[in-house]
Structure 1
Amino acid sequence: MSLTFTLDPAVTPDLRDGILDMWTDVSNRGGAVGFVPPVTREDIRPELVRHFVAMAEGRCRLLVGHDEAGEVAATAFFTFNTHRLMAHWVWLYTVMVHPRHQGKGYGRDLLSAAEGSARTFDGIDAIRLTCRGGLGLERFYGSCGYKEVGRIPDAIRVAPGDDRDDVIMLLPLGRAAV
């Protein structure tokens, strides 16, 4: 089975709750999505609200993947740069697949859908993301076409004495010059 992806879905209570549940489950399984376990939905809710506010203000867009049962199974948020010299690339944040679906290739499907979506955005030439070092994520993103373009040692403090690199990855979209 594959996921059905939607860019800019209507934010409904079901979508909100599905993202909250998934984000909590991903975080509590050790996923590198901005939190360290243990977390609750209420720990994550303020961050999700910030994402929704950015969407309402046009600074952010949501790509969501639903499984065959119609449940939220994957997400990625695009954030646009406001600096005029960096408006030609977009950030990809909060990239996650629900733990019940991991190992099915849905992460690759999500990144492919994100690339396809970004190609429809006016003036966007690349996708940039960061990932937490020490988990092999840079190898996964690399296998999906992203290139490591920078690394900040020990920039992420997961716990006292457990600092991780912040790895910067880039996917050029290869737009032809006009």
Structure 2
Amino acid sequence: MPNDAAHHLVQITNPHDVTAELRQELIDCWIAVTNTGGAAGFPFPPVRRDDVTPVADNLLSRLDPQQSRLLIAQIDGVLAGWVILNRDPYRLVGHWGTVHHLQTHPAFRGRGIGSALVHELRKIARDELGLEQLHLAARGGEGLEDFYGRLGWREIGRWPEALRLAPHDTRDEVLMILAPL
């Protein structure tokens, strides 16, 4: 595929709108991201389809226009990346959303897919859900703080040594916020 191919963003708010083909592409993307070292929710590669499928199915089953949205990026009809936005149903924290599982398929990295997903997710959160801020937790030691920082996010705290990837590889979990939207 040419490096300058334009991406197309699609928002999905209903589990019934996830086709079998898209479901498979999401699972395949998650496997590829994890197995190439991406910090996308499975910290112990390699992962297999049996590991990822039930987790993906659970995420997709919770899609709801008011509570959980899937945003995908496609290039020439092929899944290039995706992200989940969740809103807590409790009124106390109903003004913010949480970003989960932002990932770009390794074949499409370096094309601005992750940035485009985050920018669009920000608009959706503000304009469609009326949210005031977004939160996320990122794995330390991956350069994710810099990536999100370039997109306007700021670090608000850390859980020191919260993530143990191996006996001698313990990382902070970095807490970040994007506000105002």
Whether these two folds match at TM > 0.5 is: yes
Alignment RMSD (CA, Å) = 1.5
Is the CA contact 1:2–1:106 (under 8 Å) kept in the aligned structure 2?
Answer: no
Percent identity between the two aligned chains: 36
Task: Measure the CA separation in 2 of the matches of 1:95 and 1:103.
Answer: 14
1:2 aligns with 2:6: yes
Is the CA contact 1:119–1:173 (under 8 Å) kept in the aligned structure 2?
Answer: no
**Amino acid aligned to 2:160:** P
Q: Quote the offset at 1:118 in angstroms.
A: 1.3
Task: Measure the CA separation in 2 of the matches of 1:163 and 1:82.
Answer: 33
Kindly tell me the number of residue pairs found equivalent between the two proteins.
173
Rate the CA distance shift 1:146–1:165 in 2: closer, same or farther, 3 A: same
- Give 3-state SS (helix, strand or coil) of 2:39's partner: coil
> Which 5+ residue runs of structure 1 have no aligned equivalent?
none
Structure 2 match to 1:62: 70
**Amino acid aligned to 1:66:** Q
Q: Quote the offset at 1:104 in angstroms.
A: 1.5
Q: Deviations over 1:111-166 (max 9, x none)?
A: 11111221223331011111100011001100111011111111112122321111
1:106 aligns with 2:113: yes
Q: Quote the offset at 1:59 in angstroms.
A: 3.2
- Give 3-state SS (helix, strand or coil) of 1:42's partner: helix
Which of 74, 96, 105 lines up with 2:103 in the alignment?
Answer: 96
1:170 aligns with 2:158: no
Return the TM-score normalized by structure 1: 0.91
Which of 135, 151, 157 lines up with 2:142 in the alignment?
Answer: 135
Task: Measure the CA separation in 2 of the matches of 1:15 and 1:121.
Answer: 24
Which has the higher mean CA deviation after the structures are superposed, 42-51 or 22-31? 42-51
Structure 2 match to 1:124: 131
- Give 3-state SS (helix, strand or coil) of 1:85's partner: helix
**Amino acid aligned to 1:135:** E
> Which 5+ residue runs of structure 2 have no aligned equivalent?
none
Is the CA contact 2:66–2:129 (under 8 Å) kept in the aligned structure 1?
Answer: no
Q: Quote the offset at 1:27 in angstroms.
A: 0.2
Task: Measure the CA separation in 1 of the matches of 2:174 and 2:81.
Answer: 22
Which of 30, 36, 59 lines up with 1:29 in the alignment?
Answer: 36
**Amino acid aligned to 2:29:** M
Which has the higher mean CA deviation after the structures are superposed, 40-49 or 52-61? 52-61
Which structure 1 residue ranges, 4+ long, deviate > 2 Å from structure 2? 56-59, 120-123
Q: Deviations over 1:72-115 (max 9, x none)?
A: 11101011112221110000101000001111122211111111
**Amino acid aligned to 1:59:** Q
1:20 aligns with 2:27: yes
